[in-house]
Structure 1
């Protein structure tokens, strides 16, 4: 629900705020290839360090259409591209064979996986140099175990330091300790991702930890009293310190 002007303003604000402390990857994907190319160029011109390009949604292109769409996005700028595979929202997955083809492009370097097919992801990682990131907070630890580099997380807006710790522990071979963090965060994932949709609930959660991020935009609606109460209980159970209670 953000306009092109909104996207540019958000990106420029983030870049100004974080400076050189982080790599900023800008969302540039739509279900219109020409519009995606425009957004990619806008992000490049604003100073983004990379692009996140989602599978075209609603129009359900065939695999050859997906391939051409992603290649055109990658050709639009010199920035590295992370593909976003989320068939639950787009209606069509990026097939393993298509990912392997796309990996041959020098600027297509990573995948945000919200498809949840760990075996297929393992096959792609075994056959290419694509770097995988979990795009499903329920599977964060599972993706690490299968070779993913990290997460592109919704709950990370609230528990980012804990997720960072999980990654560090897993990389250090302390798998049991990483599992303990995963289990600690299960109520947080449940409260934000499983109740009323991540965008709605993460906004509510941010308000509970002292971050005023405003309301949702239509067609989304804000969490109601019952949802907020359930979310608050989940956050407390996951060890999150609230500031609104």
Structure 2
């Protein structure tokens, strides 16, 4: 990671355009051993590889990291392994969101104790809280530690969106500084960016270019498991005003986005993709997920080849 990128990553969000969690973060898969146990050596090696390829942020224990099936103790081990591996060179953000405010606050405090640089808080899932309840949940957890917070707005998974008015209220909290946006509503996201100092990160690889051109400061990407260098180039192209180059990279990566994000659940295919590259030993996932089939891997291999990522 360049000194310039690290300086920007370390900035606070006092001014529009600052990137508190880096420019290119990867929503990290959690490598497992053949028996389903944590592969902490593989986790550290994967984080090292991604930072070497151009990522300046790593998000652990998000949905892509199979957080619903890892214990609190395992989450702590994963976070500490990544911090030890790359914490001096990248922003390491801990996913701590659950649909229990008290449990989420406890996870947030444990992440701070472990040394996390920030927190990712997903909208409480399944419960479908009303907007006032969302506001109270997020502010309670943000007040439980001294860490900066990235809200994760992904209604397709959680069943409820964080509405524009709620995001504007939440932006008033000193520690709520960013949004990982997977709402799929670029206009709504643009309005929040226009009316607050929240740093927006695209959390939907299909919309990376679109949201960046509307003012997002960076990405929290799954496809970057195999395209970190390319997405770092895309961000640099936009920074320099070279939209044609950014568009060229975006179009080149469409097959990779298709292969990882549309054929089945993203964590399944992201893990298969990094196994294809020889970075992790297997594509084991924990139930209720199932590993990618040989047929799915064959299609993925062709998709990556089409994207120039073979």
Q: Same fold (TM over 0.5)?
A: yes
C-alpha displacement of 1:3: 0.9
Alignment pair present for 1:225 and 2:291: no
Q: State the distance in 1 between where 2:80 and 2:156 align.
A: 30
Q: What is the TM-score with the length of structure 1 in the denominator?
A: 0.97
Q: What secondary structure does 1:195 align onto?
A: coil
Residue 59 of structure 1: SS of its match in structure 2? coil
**Which has the larger share of helix?**
1
1:161, CA displacement in angstroms?
A: 1.1
Residue 90 of structure 1 pairs with residue 154 of structure 2: no
Of 83, 89, 102, 1:34 maps to 102
Task: Say yes or no: does 1:10 pair with 2:78.
Answer: yes
SS of the equivalent of 1:133 reads strand
Deviates more, 1:15-24 or 1:177-186: 15-24
TM superposition shift of 1:213: 5.1
What is the rounded CA distance, in whole Å, between the counterparts of 1:179 and 1:150 in structure 2? 16
What is residue 132 of structure 1 aligned with on the other side?
A: 200
Q: Deviations over 1:112-137 (max 9, x none)?
A: 00001100000000000000000000
Equivalents in 2 of 1:193, 1:89: separation in Å? 14
Normalized against structure 2, the TM-score is what?
0.77
Matched residues, number: 241
Shift of 1:19: 3.2
**Whole-angstrom CA distance in 1 between matches of 2:223 and 2:93:** 18
Alpha-carbon distance between aligned partners in 1 of 2:217 and 2:281, rounded to the nearest angstrom: 29
SS state of the match for residue 200, structure 2?
strand
Task: Give the Cα–Cα distance (whole angstroms) in 1 for the partners of residues 181 and 74 of structure 2.
Answer: 26
User: Which residue pairs with 1:19 in the alignment?
Assistant: 87
Q: Mean Cα displacement is larger for which, 17-26 or 102-111?
A: 17-26
Cα deviation code 1:118-165 (max 9, x no counterpart)? 000000000000000000000000001100011000011111111011
Find the residue that maps to 2:226 and give its secondary structure: helix
**Structure 1 residues 63, 213: CA separation in 2 closer, same or farther (over 3 Å shift)?**
farther
Show the counterpart of 2:63.
Answer: none
**For the structure 1 residues 235 and 115, does the alpha-carbon distance in structure 2 shift closer, same or farther, using more than 3 Å as the test?**
same
Alignment map for 1:155-234 (pairs within 5 Å) = 155-212=223-280, 214=282, 215-234=284-303
Q: What RMSD, in angstroms, separates the aligned Cα atoms of the two structures?
A: 0.7
Deviates more, 1:53-62 or 1:212-221: 212-221
